[in-house]
Amino acid sequence: MVHLIWAGLACIGIIYGLFNGTIADVNEAIFSSAQEAIQLIIGLASVLVFWLGIMKIAEEANILKQLSRAFKPFIARLFPDIPKDHQVIGYITSNFIANLFGLGNAATPLGLKAMQGMKGLSENDEATRSMITFLVINTSSLTLIPTTVIALRMQYLSHSPTEIVLATLIATCLSTSAAILIDRLFYFKRVNKKR
């Protein structure tokens, strides 16, 4: 659906440029934007490759397993519907760790596997309590190192691209705490309504 919206907006802009007599400006904007997008992608790719390499080193050094063990009791409390030794817990933990280091692109496949696993545990097509909780926490995304934002700031020649780390940590701690509280509030409200 989103691709249709973007295509519609592009077509409207081109048609408006034709009728308004500014099609040359539209062409110039298209090509300059395409060039900027390629430069941005190359800059972001290098930083993401670096952090994905760090994650791979952490995985080989069993740091991720230790982090998973540290997070396991917390995740078991957040997702009581999922058996404690189920494979989904590993996907959820890995997704949270990737988000913690600001690697949203690396977290996405893990999040999709976690959702598929939770759907497999479900008996119907409705979203389960665990699926909703996972979605809410994943959306609020607690982040220690905002890798992508730092890469963007470096790309646009920021004098100190890492100065946002503390602000990001505070903002994402607040958003994740609020997300968990609101999720629990609505869950208990639903449970009480059924009684």
For the stretch 130-166, pLDDT in tens is 899 999 998 888 888 887 788 778 878 888 888 988 9
pLDDT for the residue 28: 84
Indicate the SS3 state at residue 176.
helix
Cα–Cα distance measured from residue 30 to residue 9, given in angstroms and rounded to the nearest whole number: 13
Amino acid, res. 91: Y
Cα–Cα distance measured from residue 190 to residue 195, given in angstroms and rounded to the nearest whole number: 9
For the stretch 45-85, pLDDT in tens is 776 677 677 767 877 887 767 777 788 788 888 888 888 77
For the stretch 100-122, pLDDT in tens is 877 777 778 888 888 988 888 88
Q: How confident is the model at residue 125 (pLDDT cuts 50, 70, 90)?
A: confident
Its pTM stands at 0.69
Cα–Cα distance measured from residue 151 to residue 123, given in angstroms and rounded to the nearest whole number: 42
Hey, what are 174's tokens? 């607040």
For the stretch 18-35, pLDDT in tens is 888 888 887 888 888 888
